[in-house]
Amino acid sequence: MLQRIEQASAGNPFYALEIAREVLSRPLSPGEPLALPTNLQELVARRIADLPAVTRELLVAAAALARPTEKTVLAVVASADASALDAAEAAGVIARDNGNIRFTHPLVASTVYGRASATDLRRVHERLAQLVGDVEERARHLALAIDQPDEGVAARLDEVCFTPARLSGRDAYFAC
């Protein structure tokens, strides 16, 4: 089985771990071929799809944040509690440390965010814009919460990006 996983993963260690996780969750009979998606993103998406809906919603919020914390992510979904994050942690999707959340691999975060609908992303960004304290991150979420030009959001972006304090640093300028 290890040789089959190594061949299927083409030596990619993360892919090998994901294939092994899939094999453990859906045991094979001797000689049965590995029935795997053709790419790693599909395999990760399958694992995420097995999580409860509220957990997937919290993961979208975490993937949308620059520095996700349990407090902020849980505030996005009023009916959620820490047990929804426990499910993601048990599945090996996230790790938590002192109230902070990190995805176990960048591809997991990218898959979570990329598989969310445009409507769900706008709703999450709208809610995050109300919750985050950092003015730059708030402006970013405001911009991502709309689907058409909005003068109020444009004014807020101008205010954040083009203040004299921000114009003094090259990195701050390019961040906007």
Output the pLDDT for position 174: 45
Token pair listed for 71: 């407090």
| Percentage of residues in the chain having pLDDT higher than 90 | 37
Predicted structure pTM score: 0.73
pLDDT at position 170, please? 47
Burial of 138 (C-beta count, 10 Å sphere; 0-12/13-18/19+): middle
CB 56 within 8 Å of CB 66? no
Using the Cα atoms of residue 112, residue 114, residue 119 and residue 124 in order, give the sign of their dihedral. Answer: positive
DSSP state of 34: P
- Choose among 115, 116, 88: nearest CA to 104: 88
For the cut 60, the answer to whether the pLDDT of residue 165 exceeds it is no
The residue among 145 and 57 whose pLDDT is bigger is 57
The answer to whether residue 70 scores a pLDDT higher than 60 is: yes
For residue 164, the model assigns a pLDDT of 53
CA 67/CA 140 separation, integer angstroms? 13
